[in-house]
Amino acid sequence: MKKLNVDLRNKTVLVTGAAGFIGSNLVMKLLKSFSPINIVGYDNCNDYYDVRLKEHRLQTIEELAKEYPQSSWTFIKGNLADKDMVDKTFEKYRFDVVVNLAAQAGVRYSIDHPEVYIEANILGFYNILEACRNYPVEHLVYASSSSVYGANKKVPFSTDDKVDSPISLYAATKKSNELFAHAYSKLYNIPSTGLRFFTVYGPAGRPDMAAFGFTEKFIKGEVIQIFNYGNCKRDFTYVDDIVEGITRVMQGAPEKKNGEDGLPIPPYAVYNIGNNHPENLLDFVQILSEELVRAGVLPKDYDFEAHKKLVPMQPGDVPVTFADTDPLERDFGFKPSTPLRVGLRKLAQWYKTYYNV
């Protein structure tokens, strides 16, 4: 086990992407587990998907924050590509810990809208690194992605694997984030940890992800296309497991050390956070349909077999994702383990309530 060297209580923490799926859940976890704590959320609330869902997440945080009056919650609407605004935010709040979850997500969207990824994922992250350089932090934690593994044939995917062959621009931007962070760790002794997330799902998740897309098609009675003829496997990871992993990692910054040359050895680390149990996409959709029936979102006589269609792979997709989480378990004593049916049941129940189906 790593020595936990960052006490989050009474600290000031920046969470970028705070209106996002993972970011909003992280803010709520920090309030519940580490009060008193001062949290600043930063998000541009763009319209990549329904802004009302982002507003719903922020409202949920506002209501929760009232239960922790000894803590503070501040939300800033802003773009990370605006360097002046980022610098002013760092200068004002002097963050102890930064968690950068803000990014333009989505593999397929990056094929048609590459410029958005360069602005959000490259320029935005550069501005965060520069701010951490000029206003030093105890720990920078940032979101990478399982997409950096590309079409890696070796499974499970290990952070020791070579990841120099991205098959989407989104993946390339996430790999570049890791390289940027390594360089800044070396040059400026910034303790930084990258987290490669594996297919996150759960209540109030992103509408562009599989669970929501399939659910909408179920409700409309449309044909359900299952890519790679049903042979895709994904390491589906429930959002609570992702957030638990993030909070544990936040408390264990890589230690600063100098090498024989007297210069810093980069205080830098990368971990996978995944369920370590790939599920067949066909099984995922089948279980989702069953849980939506159970929640009353779909009629009891819904016939999944009559609606499914097996189709070829899409550009930018990979056949399998599978996380090696041994380093995370070794260093932080945590291994994601929420069973798929349990997670999908919670998602279906939330969907029923939120959309009033």
Q: Which residues of 22-59 are buried (b: 16+ CB within 10 A; e: fewer)?
A: bbbbbbbbbbeebbebbbbbbbbbeebbeeebbeebbe
Q: Pairing state of beta strands 72-77 and 38-43? A: parallel
Count of C-beta atoms within a 10 Å radius of residue 235:
25
The count of residues in the chain is: 357
- Distance between CA 164 and CA 121 in Å, rounded? 18
The token pair that represents 180 in the structure block: 């940027």
pLDDT for 210: 86
Please count the CA atoms within 13 angstroms of the CA of 297 that sit on its side-chain side: 28
Q: Which helix (H) or strand (E) holds 352?
A: helix 340-354
- Distance between CA 214 and CA 136 in Å, rounded? 44
Q: Which residues contact 166 (CB under 8 A, 6 or more apart)?
A: 147, 148, 150, 172, 174, 175
pLDDT tens digits, residue range 306-344? 999 999 887 767 788 999 999 999 999 999 999 999 999
pLDDT tens digits, residue range 211-270? 998 999 999 999 998 888 888 899 999 999 999 999 999 999 999 999 898 888 999 999
Residues of the chain with pLDDT under 50: none
- Distance between CA 283 and CA 71 in Å, rounded? 42
Question: Structural domains in the chain?
Answer: 12-201+236-276+321-337 (3.40.50.720)
pLDDT for 314: 78
Q: Tell me if residue 142 falls in helix, strand or coil.
A: strand
Judge contact between 258 and 310, C-beta under 8 A. Answer: no
Catalytic residues: 170
Judge contact between 129 and 135, C-beta under 8 A. Answer: no
pLDDT for 230: 82
Q: Which helix (H) or strand (E) holds 127?
A: helix 124-134
Give 239's DSSP letter: H
**What DSSP line would sit under 166-219, residue for residue?**
-SSHHHHHHHHHHHHHHHHHHHH---EEEEEE--EE-TT--TTSHHHHHHHHHH
pLDDT for 105: 87
pLDDT for 264: 86
